[in-house]
DNA sequence: GTCTATATCCAGATAGAC
DNA sequence: GTCTATCTGGATATAGAC
């Protein structure tokens, strides 16, 4: 990508947003620790001084990014909850959402489900304890309670429903799968649902 | 752990093994980039000079560790292949093996399936392309070919069979699950097999 | 082969002009 | 609020005695 391109893409954005955008890209492509603040300076077209004016430190950047992505995920899951009444519909919608996000914004997906946050955000809980992941499990718990799903351990059921999709997402992000996950959605869903349906 | 303890544990081992052992522990507990060579010096009771005499550099340590664990995994999967003739038996044995390893040697499991190798071993292929992971998928492919499993996409079938177990392993390593995975083995396997059985 | 002492580098972070 | 110049610490890696 040329310098000119970068400027076009990021024109009109404030420092905060430019830094977050650049960092998401660098962190997912190279890893948090392989990305230096000077790297972020170059990629964001902001100066060191500006960056430290807007963020406490490098970890503060990662934290802002993390919070914003979790917040966004949580909002979308809330919409799914409102739109669909059954466990079956909700879980299917979640998997479709995750696949779509993997295809359209792989950096976002990679940062959410594939980054080792505890290594660079040691203060935070593991991401699987975060609100969005909890909500995903609630969809399951309710399904067990109302008899849509087999009466088994919640964690086992959640892992069975979402586990296959999450594996495929990792394989896709790693380049092992070369075509769009959307092609596999129906098959994945069929397997996932069969594994726990009552 | 006291210094005395450490010496007892590692007495009689050579530099190579002491360094590998200490590094596995440090890398999984703190992350590769949060572990300095001086950290490894202290934990292994080897001097900087000795370490660099036996390994080219810090990455060389991680690489030796990675290769040795993959080699070990590969050997055990080979035994499973020999011992069991059917896809069903083999996949079940794989999941049991992974659960056992998670409980008895969580560091090993964490380094194999949860570390972001591409960030600190940039030369290597993604681990899901490695021999052991390929072999796990072969067990599936053969099952599809001989009619034990539904005739669906190999990757989808593999993700469905192993995905739930791998999710639970991550939850266990993150401390979200507090009891032994062995307790859940039967349920996990039932779900996994139902998802793809012909 | 193992050790201590040390060189070199570059990261993260700050100071202070504008 | 943004910038450039700079400080400081600690990391990786080496040198060279033993």
Tell me the per-residue pLDDT of B119-156, one tens digit each, with 9 for 90 and over: 999 999 999 999 999 999 999 999 999 999 999 999 99
Give residue limits of the domains in chain B: 1-56, 69-194
Burial B6-23 (b: 16+ CB within 10 A, else e): beeebeeeebbebbbbbb
> To which residue do tokens 């380094």 refer?
B111
Tell me the per-residue pLDDT of B170-188, one tens digit each, with 9 for 90 and over: 999 999 999 999 999 999 9
| Percent above pLDDT 70 for chain A | 94
Cβ atoms of residues A50 and A15 within 8 Å: yes
Å between CA of B149 and C1' of C6: 63
The nucleotides of chain C lying under 7 Å from a protein CB are: 1-6, 10-17
Nucleic strand C interface residues, CB < 7 Å: A 35-38, 48-49, 52, 57-59; B 14-15, 46-50, 52-54
- B47, pLDDT greater than 80: yes
Residue range A1-56 forms a domain whose CATH class is mainly alpha
- B5, pLDDT greater than 70: no
Tell me the per-residue pLDDT of A148-189, one tens digit each, with 9 for 90 and over: 999 999 999 999 999 999 999 999 999 999 999 999 999 999
Q: How far apart are CA B120 and CA B59, in angstroms?
A: 7
Chain B residues in contact with A184 by the CB 8 A cut-off are 153, 155-156
Residue A40 CA, chain-centre distance (Å), reads 21
Give residue A165's region: left, alpha or beta (phi > 0; psi -120 to 50): alpha
**Encoded tokens for B9:** 């544990």
- A6, pLDDT greater than 60: no
Give the pLDDT score at A5: 44
Tell me the per-residue pLDDT of B70-94, one tens digit each, with 9 for 90 and over: 999 999 999 999 999 999 999 999 9
**Does B26 lie at the interface with A, CB-CB under 8 angstroms?**
no
User: Which homologous superfamily is A69-194 in?
Assistant: Tetracycline Repressor, domain 2 (1.10.357.10)
Where residue B12 falls among pLDDT bands split at 50, 70, 90?
Answer: confident
Cβ atoms of residues B164 and B194 within 8 Å: no
Q: What does the mean pLDDT of chain B come to?
A: 95
CA distances from B190 to A100, B88, B99, B182, B193 (A): 29, 11, 15, 14, 5
Strand D close to B58 by CB, under 7 A: yes
Taking CA atoms, what residue in A is nearest to B28?
A119
Q: How far apart are CA B44 and CA B19, in angstroms?
A: 5
Strand D close to B38 by CB, under 7 A: yes
pTM for the full predicted model: 0.95
């Amino acid at each position: 990508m040329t310098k000119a391109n970068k400027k076009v893409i990021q024109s009109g954005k404030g420092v905060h947003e430019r830094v977050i955008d650049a960092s998401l890209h660098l962190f997912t492509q190279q890893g948090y620790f392989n990305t230096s603040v000077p790297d972020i300076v170059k990629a964001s077209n902001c100066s060191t001084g500006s960056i430290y004016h807007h963020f406490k430190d490098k970890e503060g950047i990662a934290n802002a990014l993390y919070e914003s992505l979790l917040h966004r995920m949580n909002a979308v899951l809330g919409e799914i909850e409102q739109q669909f009444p059954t466990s079956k519909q909700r879980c299917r919608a979640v998997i479709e959402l995750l696949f779509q996000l993997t295809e359209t914004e792989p950096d976002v997906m990679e940062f959410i489900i594939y980054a080792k946050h505890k290594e660079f955000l040691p203060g935070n809980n593991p991401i699987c304890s975060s609100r969005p992941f909890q909500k995903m499990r609630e969809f399951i718990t309710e399904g067990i309670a109302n008899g849509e799903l087999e009466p088994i351990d919640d964690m086992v059921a959640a892992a069975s429903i979402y586990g296959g999709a999450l594996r495929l997402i990792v394989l896709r992000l790693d380049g092992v799968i070369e075509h769009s996950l959307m092609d596999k959605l129906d098959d994945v869903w069929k397997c996932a649902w069969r594994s726990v349906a009552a």
